[in-house]
């Protein structure tokens, strides 16, 4: 099936008397559909869910609503910053999903009426559903850092959603003088991709080491520890002189006053609790919460994240609506692309069971996060999880998982870097292929 | 304005359905377990990256491999950590699933001249066990269409005793290297990579 969108449908059906307000009428879209699922958001979670729903039960009509024509993966976007990849290498379209029979609609969802089982869009359309999947990603808590808001972020990028801001940040690094200072402001927990800021520092250092070796990266961090800290600092010592006077990377943790309080965009000054730094390039990653649509659909708790049943990912607030990926509370899974991919499969499987009047099966979850520290230098953390029904938790399986051993050989670290790239190839194919 | 009639009665009986425990007693299905592998090993076990494809592994080979990762007998980057998260029953289910998947050769670059030499060397040294140009899985993994880099790593692992291989294999490889040098191994791997 080709990319059969709503307008094509209206064209073919002669505009229909009902006008443009009612769409997604499954029976008119070629063959009788068993049920309709509307997926909101075409990132990792949404795209995986849409594809797997179609693979698991082709009788289900699936519509994916996503405003952008392309998705840029956050994973491996740090390699765009180092110049190892172009933005095109992390860009994916929706033709693969259309090939699986997913109806792709490029529009912005403005609201979800859980009572009427209807999704509304900015174009004024409404989509009826039997089940709705929302995979909204993250949004930012503006105002947490004085002087830093969405407008300032155009100039001082967060680049925490890959895309134009990733390109901006790369250009700024390219334009920077040798001897410049790059400041990365890491966010508070919880946030998308826990090892991400530290991989970013590593890959910017990789670039600077070759091209601008007199430069320096300062990570200002409100936290005292971070994901794979021991492995990152070991790698920084080996590759970037970490801990010496000439280190390319300096990390200032919470106890040392690393919390950022304000940004002076015009002067390019960033103020932490204890010092003011004049920066050449700034990358401020603000605190995070669930994506915007999760708020307008009323799917969030007081902390701004979405409580769900972790077996089916059905919202605890609105029945019939499932929330996946970074926006969902799937403790103890980290907010990662791998997690979103796995959660989408668990959710799709549960929805297929429900729509076929069967009992949803038992989920199985995994997460593996690779980080590139430098040339031929990769590290990883992984975990296998099981569903803990009594506590509604995704529970790590004892004895499994863990991080790359500290005494891993250089050969192992090289392979981890190569496998990180292999993982990128396979997961993106699993999602969008 | 929404005037469309509801086509289906929404299925809201999830709570009642979940109350039954029969499904939970049986654990995750083979498909569910296999779904946790595909982010690294490719959709339905056919890799498009450097991880090995696991589609078309015999159940026996898959099970033995996972157990060797689990015990640490076979050294690995992440698979030792991953395998420990799956019970023997889980592994059995995954083994069954992947043995049913059709292997698809990976699209990758290779050297044509090397691949032609590799075919001759394969026929002489490897074909007896890895029949049909490495497509046959009866005596071990499917070799044809696997990632060349992964196969290179595997050969290094056999050499370093990080992975146990049959004695006859080390003998054959040794005699091939004596006669054709290290380039012989690379030629054979190019031949497997050429099968796409």
Q: What is the CATH number of the domain that holds B91?
A: 1.10.760.10
d(CA B30, CA B63): 14
B151 and B178 part of one domain:
yes
Question: What is the Cα–Cα distance from B179 to B181, expressed in whole angstroms?
Answer: 6
pLDDT at B15: 40
Closest-CA distance, B92 to chain A, in angstroms, reads: 15
Chain A residue nearest residue B81, CA to CA: A401
Q: Is B2 a member of any domain? A: no
Does the annotation flag B129 for ligand binding? yes
Q: For residues A185 and A203, give the distance between their C-alpha atoms in angstroms, rounded to a whole number.
A: 15
Instruction: Label residue A115 exposed, middle or buried (CB < 10 Å: 0-12, 13-18, 19+).
Output: exposed
B41 touches chain A (CB under 8 A): yes
Among the candidates B56, B74, B98, a domain finishes at: B98
B140/B75 same-domain check: no
Determine, for residues A364 and B10 on separate chains, whether the beta-carbon distance falls below 8 Å.
Answer: no
DSSP H or E segment with residue B112: helix B112-121
Based on the fold, state whether residues B89 and B58 are members of the same structural domain.
yes
**Any binding-site annotation on B40?**
yes
d(CA B121, CA B190): 11
Segments of chain B with pLDDT less than 50: 1-19
Whether residue B4 and residue A25 make contact (CB cut-off 8 A), yes or no, is: yes
Whether B104 is covered by a domain: the verdict is no
Q: Please tell me the predicted confidence (pLDDT) of residue B21.
A: 55
Planar angle of CA A186, A189, A192, nearest 5 degrees: 75
User: What pLDDT was estimated at residue B3?
Assistant: 39
Q: What is the pLDDT of residue A17?
A: 38
Q: Do B89 and B140 have their domain in common?
A: no
Domains of chain A: 33-138+287-359 (3.50.50.60), 148-285 (3.50.50.60)
The DSSP letter of residue B123 is: I
Q: What is the mean pLDDT of each run of 10 residues along chain A (433 residues)?
A: 41 38 44 87 98 97 98 98 98 98 98 97 98 98 97 98 98 98 98 98 98 98 98 98 97 98 98 97 98 97 98 98 98 97 98 96 97 98 96 96 97 98 98 97
Q: Among all residues of chain B, which has the CA nearest to that of A425?
A: B49
Residue B44 in domain = yes
Residue A10 touches chain B, beta carbons under 8 Å: no
Is residue B90 located within the same domain as residue B114? no
The reply to whether B74 and B118 lie within a common domain is no
Same domain for B87 and B117? no
| Cβ separation B10–A117 shorter than 8 A | yes
- CA-based nearest residue to A369, from A223, A226, A217: A226
Indicate whether B34 and B94 sit together in one domain. Answer: yes
pLDDT confidence of residue B140: 87
Residue A112 forms beta bridges with which residues? Answer: A119
B72 lies within 8 A of chain A by CB: no
Boundaries of domain holding B88? 28-98
CA distance A381 to A427: 16
CB contact under 8 A, A363 and B28: yes
The pLDDT of residue A27 is 37
Distance, CA of B120 to CA of B125 (rounded, Å): 9
Q: Is B42 left (phi over 0), alpha (psi -120 to 50) or beta?
A: left
Task: From chain A, pick out residues whose CB is under 8 angstroms from the CB of B84.
Answer: 384, 397, 399-401
Interface of B with A in 106-135 (CB under 8 A): none
**Number of neighbouring beta carbons within 10 Å of residue A216:** 18
Q: Are residues B116 and B92 in the same domain?
A: no
Q: Closest Cα to residue B87, out of B26, B164, B20?
A: B26
Q: d(Cα B157, Cα B140) in Å, to the nearest integer?
A: 16
Residue A69 at interface with chain B, using a CB cutoff of 8 Å: no
R_g of chain B computed on alpha carbons? 21
B116 in the same domain as B79? no
Question: Residue B23 has what pLDDT?
Answer: 64
First to last CA, chain A: 14
Contact flag B12-A26 (C-beta cutoff 8 Å): no
B50 at A interface, C-beta within 8 A? yes
Interchain CB contact of B16 with A (< 8 Å):
no
What's the 3-state SS for chain A? CCCCCHHHHHHHCCCCCCCCCEECCHHHCCCCCCEEEEEECCCHHHHHHHHHHHHHCCCEEEEEECCCCCEECCCCCHHHHCCCCCHHHHEECCHHHHHCCCEEECCCEEEEECCCCEEEECCCCEEECCEEEECCCEEECCCCCECCCCCHHHHCCCCCCCCHHHHHHHHHHHHCCCCCEEEEECCCCCCCCCCHHHHHHHHHHHHHHHHCCCCEEEEECCCCCCCCHHHHHHHHHHHHCCCCCCCCEEEECHHHCCCEEEEECCCCEEEECCCEEECCEEEECCCEEECHHHHHCCCCCCCCCEEECCCCCEECCCCCEEECHHHEECCCCCCCHHHHHHHHHHHHHHHHHHHCCCCCCCCEEEEEEEEEEECCEEEEEEEEEEEECCCCEEEECCCCCEECCCCCCHHHHHHHHHHHHHHHHHHHHHHHC
Last residue of a domain, one of B98, B132, B153: B98
Our CA-based measurement puts residue B196 at a distance from the nearest CA of chain A, in whole angstroms, of 17
Q: Are residues B84 and B118 in the same domain?
A: no
Distance from CA of A338 to the nearest CA of B (A): 7
Strand pairing category for A281-284 and A181-185? parallel
- What tens digit of pLDDT does each residue of B21-75 get? 566 678 999 999 999 999 999 999 999 999 999 999 999 999 999 999 999 999 9
Per-residue confidence (pLDDT) for residue A32, from 0 to 100: 63
Could you tell me if residue A269 is left (phi over 0), alpha (psi between -120 and 50 degrees) or otherwise beta? beta
Q: How far apart are CA A363 and CA A384, in angstroms?
A: 11
User: Which residues of B fall within a CB distance of 8 Å from A429?
Assistant: 42-43, 48-49
- Read off φ and ψ for residue A146, nearest 5 degrees: -60, 135
**Min CA distance, A286 vs chain B (Å)?**
29
């Amino acid at each position: 099936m080709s990319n059969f969108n709503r307008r094509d449908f209206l064209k073919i059906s002669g505009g229909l008397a009902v006008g443009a307000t009612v769409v997604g009428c499954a029976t008119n879209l070629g063959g009788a559909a068993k049920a309709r699922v509307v997926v909101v958001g075409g990132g990792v979670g949404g795209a995986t869910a849409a594809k797997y729903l179609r693979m698991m039960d082709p009788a289900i009509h699936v519509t994916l609503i996503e405003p952008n024509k392309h998705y840029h993966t956050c994973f491996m976007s740090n390699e765009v910053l180092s110049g190892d990849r172009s933005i095109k290498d992390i860009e994916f379209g929706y033709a693969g999903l259309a090939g699986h029979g997913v109806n792709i609609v490029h529009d912005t969802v403005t609201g979800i009426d859980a009572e009427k089982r209807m999704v509304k869009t900015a174009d004024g359309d409404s989509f009826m559903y039997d089940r709705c999947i929302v995979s909204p990603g993250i949004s930012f808590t503006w105002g947490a850092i004085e002087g830093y808001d969405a407008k300032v972020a155009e100039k001082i990028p967060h680049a925490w959603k890959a895309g134009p801001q990733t390109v901006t940040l790369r250009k700024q690094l390219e334009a920077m003088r040798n001897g410049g200072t790059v400041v990365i402001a890491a966010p508070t927990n919880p946030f998308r991709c826990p090892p991400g800021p530290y991989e970013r520092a590593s890959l910017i250092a990789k670039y600077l080491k070759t091209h601008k070796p007199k430069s320096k990266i300062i990570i200002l961090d409100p936290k005292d520890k971070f994901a794979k800290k021991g492995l990152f600092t070991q790698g920084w010592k080996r590759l970037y002189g970490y801990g010496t006077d000439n280190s390319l990377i300096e990390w200032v943790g919470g106890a040392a006053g690393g919390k950022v309080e304000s940004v002076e965009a015009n002067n390019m000054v960033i103020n932490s609790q204890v010092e003011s730094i004049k920066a050449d390039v700034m990358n401020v990653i603000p605190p995070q919460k669930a994506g915007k649509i999760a708020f307008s659909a009323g799917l969030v708790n007081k902390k701004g994240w979405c409580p769900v049943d972790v077996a089916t990912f059905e919202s605890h607030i609105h029945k019939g609506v499932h929330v996946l990926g970074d926006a969902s509370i799937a403790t103890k899974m980290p907010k990662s692309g791998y997690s979103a991919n796995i959660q989408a499969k668990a959710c799709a499987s549960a929805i297929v069971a429900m729509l076929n009047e069967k009992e949803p099966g038992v989920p199985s979850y995994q997460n593996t996060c690779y980080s590139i520290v430098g040339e031929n230098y990769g590290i990883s953390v992984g975990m296998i999880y099981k569903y803990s029904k009594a506590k509604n938790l995704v529970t790590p399986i004892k004895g499994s998982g863990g991080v790359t051993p500290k005494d891993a050989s250089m050969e192992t670290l090289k392979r981890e870097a190569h496998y990180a790239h292999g993982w990128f190839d396979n997961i993106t194919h699993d999602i969008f292929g | 304005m929404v005037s469309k009639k509801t086509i289906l009665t929404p299925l809201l009986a999830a709570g009642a359905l979940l109350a039954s425990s029969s499904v939970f007693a049986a654990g995750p299905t083979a498909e569910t377990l296999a779904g946790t592998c595909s982010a690294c090993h490719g959709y339905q076990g056919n890799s498009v990256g450097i991880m090995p494809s696991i589609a078309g592994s015999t159940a026996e080979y898959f099970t033995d491999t996972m157990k060797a990762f689990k015990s640490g007998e076979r050294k690995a980057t992440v698979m030792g950590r991953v395998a420990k998260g799956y019970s023997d029953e889980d592994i059995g289910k995954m083994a069954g699933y992947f043995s049913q998947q059709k292997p698809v050769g990976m699209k990758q670059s290779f050297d044509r001249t090397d691949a032609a030499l590799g075919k001759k060397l394969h026929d002489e040294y490897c074909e007896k066990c890895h029949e049909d140009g490495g497509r046959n899985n009866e005596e071990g993994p499917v070799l044809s269409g696997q990632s060349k880099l992964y196969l290179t790593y595997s050969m290094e692992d056999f050499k370093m005793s990080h992975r146990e291989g049959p004695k006859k294999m080390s003998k054959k490889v040794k005699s091939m290297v004596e006669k054709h040098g290290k380039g012989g191994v690379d030629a054979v791997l190019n031949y497997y990579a050429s099968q796409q």
